[in-house]
Amino acid sequence: EAGVAQSPRYKIIEKRQSVAFWCNPISGHATLYWYQQILGQGPKLLIQFQNNGVVDDSQLPKDRFSAERLKGVDSTLKIQPAKLEDSAVYLCASTQGAQGNTIYFGEGSWLTVV
Amino acid sequence: GNSVTQMEGPVTLSEEAFLTINCTYTATGYPSLFWYVQYPGEGLQLLLKATKADDKGSNKGFEATYRKETTSFHLEKGSVQVSDSAVYFCALSDRGNSGYSTLTFGKGTMLLVSP
């Protein structure tokens, strides 16, 4: 079974530039998450989708971050304009949805803002 | 709200030593509990999980028991190997404000095992 796919794996941009990350979840997984992991910290939830609807975006900095999952399958996360403090690993994850089900993570997209 | 507290690292051990990484949690409901592992340069991998009180999760020689009375889920391994060197994250899954499951992570504990 294919895992959660993410791209690009690595990205270096200058501050105030924009960047987009793509995620393709495991087939059949209705719930998709984007997490931000800053070096030395645990992952923090940015946004959660159920199919193509947003169910939690309370911690998403909406002035610069946006995300969509138009057809309920793959998703994109965009940052515009980027700040130095956005340097982090952006993790996409998916699950079938029921509590206790395993949430599977992709390898992450590593962003450095200089 | 929900929270997870882990012991701070790094934890430095010699090969074949006994490992304990402490994890306690705060949750309003009845969460499921997880340990994830992150090897250098890689994403998070599920190590083990427990979905109800007194359940024991185990995998690759690691184990953890869901203790509701002490709100704990400590990770243990009887004999660590150099290849176990990684960052370990304790996490809980509960129905958030959305009504859907979401993971809340601890800050992670780095384990360094020397030959």
Best CA proximity match to A104, nearest among A113, A114, A91: A91
Contact list, A98 vs chain B (CB under 8 Å):
101
3-state secondary structure at position A67: strand
The residue of chain A nearest to residue B51, with distances taken between CA atoms, is A100
CB contact under 8 A, B108 and A42: yes
Structure tokens at A63: 């002035």
Residue B96: the pLDDT is: 64
Mean pLDDT by 10 residues, chain A (114 residues): 91 98 94 93 93 91 95 94 97 80 90 97
Which amino acid is it at B101? S
Residues A104, A3: Cα–Cα separation, whole Å = 8
Mean pLDDT rounded to a whole number for chain B: 92
Residue B8: the pLDDT is: 87
Query: Judged by CB atoms within 8 Å, which residues 18-37 of B form the interface with A?
Result: 32, 34, 36
Residue B98: the pLDDT is: 65
Of the candidates A101, A102, A107, the beta carbon closest to that of B42 is on A107
Contact list, A43 vs chain B (CB under 8 Å):
44, 89, 103, 105
Count Cα neighbours of A95 within 13 Å in the Cβ-side half-sphere: 17
DSSP B42-90: --EEEEEEE-STT-EEEETTEEEE-BTTTTB--EEESS--GGG-EEEEE
* A25 contact B CB<8A: no
CB contact under 8 A, B97 and A56: yes
The residue of chain B nearest to residue A6, with distances taken between CA atoms, is B43
Residues B14, A7: Cα–Cα separation, whole Å = 37
Contact list, B66 vs chain A (CB under 8 Å):
none
Residues B108, B7: Cα–Cα separation, whole Å = 8
pLDDT band of residue B102 (cuts 50, 70, 90) is confident
User: What is the mean pLDDT of the segment spanning B71-92?
Assistant: 97
CB contact under 8 A, B101 and A40: no
In sequence order, the β-bridge partners of residue B92 are B33, B104
Q: What is the pLDDT of residues B62-75, one digit of tens each?
A: 999 999 999 999 99
More confident call, B91 vs B94: B91
For chain A, the first-to-last Cα distance in angstroms comes to 37
DSSP strand pairing (B109-114 vs B11-14)? parallel
The answer, yes or no, to whether residue B80 has pLDDT greater than 90, is yes
Which residues, other chains included, contact A47 with Cβ-Cβ below 8 Å and sequence gap of 6+? A33, A34, A54, A56, A57, A59, A60, A67, A77
